[in-house]
Structure 1
Amino acid sequence: MNYSISGDSLPVLKVQLGQGENIQCEAGAMSWMDEGIQMQTNAGGIGKMLGRAFTGEGMFLNTYVAERAGEIAFASKFPGSIRAVEISEGNGLIVQKGSYLATAGNVNSEVFFQKRLGKGLFGGEGFLMRRFTGSGIVFLEIDGSAHEYELAPGQTKVIDTGNLAAMSESCSIDIRTVQGVKNILFGGEGFFNTVVTGPGKVVLQSMPISTMAMKLYQYMPFTTSST
């Protein structure tokens, strides 16, 4: 299997499948493909189906199998980037909801429960994320530009709400309260930051959809109706 990513700020993942190869994605993620590639829709069991629903993802997955060699493409749903992250046994990936695009290889997906409820309620990444394990490639859809860091053991990165797209499962995640009343009220950073500690890879995104939505909301005209 070969792949390429093109399209600048509106990227498209193009995957060249050899005969018998396959790629998996959420239902509705495929943009175009060649003849000879067949779709198989499945849920993977009620537990996995409900888990995907809890993390804000689609309840069903599509597997595209190449009966003969051909191309299949997945277009980004928002201006940004697409990144490919290789995983292996014992080196999985934790992904924020909305960042998953597709997987190739022997990759399993399950719900990742953050250790403390407060992390999910206030950290911006959600109480439930997704863990990908196995051996293969996880393709991520990034809001805005993507920035990758390799954290050494004990090294931390303090991240604003929503900017964490993915991290190695070897990393740990915590929530840090912004210090100082004036900082909270007037600093514009909210009440909490997400803190990720290495070792492992961290993938950050520069323009979360939630941030963009709030900015656009400020310019929305408000109308009132009279009776």
Structure 2
Amino acid sequence: MRTSLNITNKLTKLSEMQGDSIFQILEFDELNGGNDIDSAVKFKFMKDAGIKLKQIRIILEDSAVKLESGALSYMKGSIELENKVGGVLGFGKKLINSKLTGETLFKPRYIGSGEIFLEPSFGHYALLELDDEEVIVDDGLFYACEDSVEVGASMQKSISSMLLGNEGVFQTKISGSGVVALEIPVPENEIFKCRLSNDTLKVDGNFAILRTGGIEFTVEKSAKSIIGSTTSGEGFLNVYRGTGEVWLVPTKVIYDKLQSTSLSSMTNPTGNHNNEQ
């Protein structure tokens, strides 16, 4: 029998995806807990800017999920926690993947029936469903997945991507079949999900956060000659080839600039562009 917490008066469901378990992205309608002037001012600014607290809810029905370590907020129902090391070989594999990708060493497994709520955050989330496929994502994006999904490491396949891609030698690989929850740097409606069909995508900057397994990643000069690259004002481009999907977050650079500079300096978008690659 499905258990259910009464959340209808507190949270709005932004999206939902169902596999063996149900994943939901929820949003708090409003925060009213401030009891001092400083908090009240911050809440007022957040309300005017449309910044709302979000939380992921997972409904288990005799199923299992894996979470990023420390992601659990609370849970209800008949749910057990398992954190199997997998023996010496399993521990070694987890340790290597953790060192290579920067992901946490252990991803706790929760099994049973009930509801799990992950830590609330002012960040952003996205759900995707894998069907016997894999995606390569930026380190730190993984948040939760169904038990049928594996999280490991993928080595860059070209020297140029290793040395010039600003992604490191290894990235996080998520593979298998099932629902995955990602913690993303911008709202999902600001992600450009670019579909490629035996095509090429060239990106001036490091703002591709996900690519499917059929996409090859390299770094190349923007022009065939050094003089051409210099006169174009660019230099090197991140290049994605093949058939599949690439997720781009072009607005992230704007948010980064807002945190470190004034609005007036952003009226000239090419002023410091080459220094920020």
Q: Unmatched 5+ residue regions in structure 1?
A: 220-227
- 1:63-103 per-position Cα deviation (integer Å, ceiling 9, x unaligned): 1223x322333545x633x22221122x2111121111111
Displacement, 1:161? 3.3
Look up the SS of the partner of 1:88 in the other structure: strand
Q: How many residues align?
A: 207
| Cα pair distance change 1:71/1:60, threshold 3 Å | closer
What amino acid is aligned across from residue 194 of structure 1 in structure 2? N
Rounded to whole Å, the distance in 2 between the matches of 1:36 and 1:47 is 30
What amino acid is aligned across from residue 2 of structure 1 in structure 2? I
| Cα pair distance change 1:138/1:3, threshold 3 Å | closer
Structure-to-structure mapping, 1:24-173, within 5 angstroms: 24-43=66-85, 44-66=90-112, 68-76=113-121, 79-80=123-124, 82-89=125-132, 91-145=133-187, 146-153=191-198, 155-173=199-217
Q: Unmatched 5+ residue regions in structure 2?
A: 1-20, 28-50, 224-228, 263-277
Greater fraction helix: 2
Retained in 2: the 8 A contact 1:27–1:41? no
Give the number of the structure with larger relative contact order, counting CA–CA contacts within 8 Å between residues 6 or more apart: 1
Rounded to whole Å, the distance in 2 between the matches of 1:117 and 1:59 is 27
Rounded to whole Å, the distance in 2 between the matches of 1:144 and 1:84 is 14
2:220 is equivalent to residue 176 of structure 1 = yes
Displacement, 1:181? 2.4
Q: TM-score, normalised by structure 1?
A: 0.77
Rounded to whole Å, the distance in 2 between the matches of 1:10 and 1:122 is 36
Displacement, 1:104? 0.8
| Structure having the higher Rg | 2
| Cα pair distance change 1:181/1:54, threshold 3 Å | same
Instruction: Provide the identity percentage.
Output: 22
- 1:30-83 per-position Cα deviation (integer Å, ceiling 9, x unaligned): 2332253332234542123221222111111111223x322333545x633x22
Displacement, 1:212? 5.2
* Selected match of 1:205 from 242, 246, 249: 249
Moved over 6 A (4+): none
| Cα pair distance change 1:211/1:192, threshold 3 Å | farther
User: How large is the RMSD of aligned CA atoms in angstroms?
Assistant: 2.7
Rounded to whole Å, the distance in 1 between the matches of 2:204 and 2:71 is 28
Look up the SS of the partner of 2:103 in the other structure: coil
Rounded to whole Å, the distance in 1 between the matches of 2:258 and 2:162 is 23
2:56 is equivalent to residue 13 of structure 1 = yes
What amino acid is aligned across from residue 65 of structure 1 in structure 2? I
* Selected match of 1:196 from 219, 228, 240: 240
What amino acid is aligned across from residue 107 of structure 1 in structure 2? V
2:23 is equivalent to residue 3 of structure 1 = yes
Look up the SS of the partner of 1:181 in the other structure: helix
Look up the SS of the partner of 1:137 in the other structure: strand
Rounded to whole Å, the distance in 2 between the matches of 1:213 and 1:143 is 10
2:11 aligns to what?
none
Retained in 1: the 8 A contact 2:23–2:59? yes
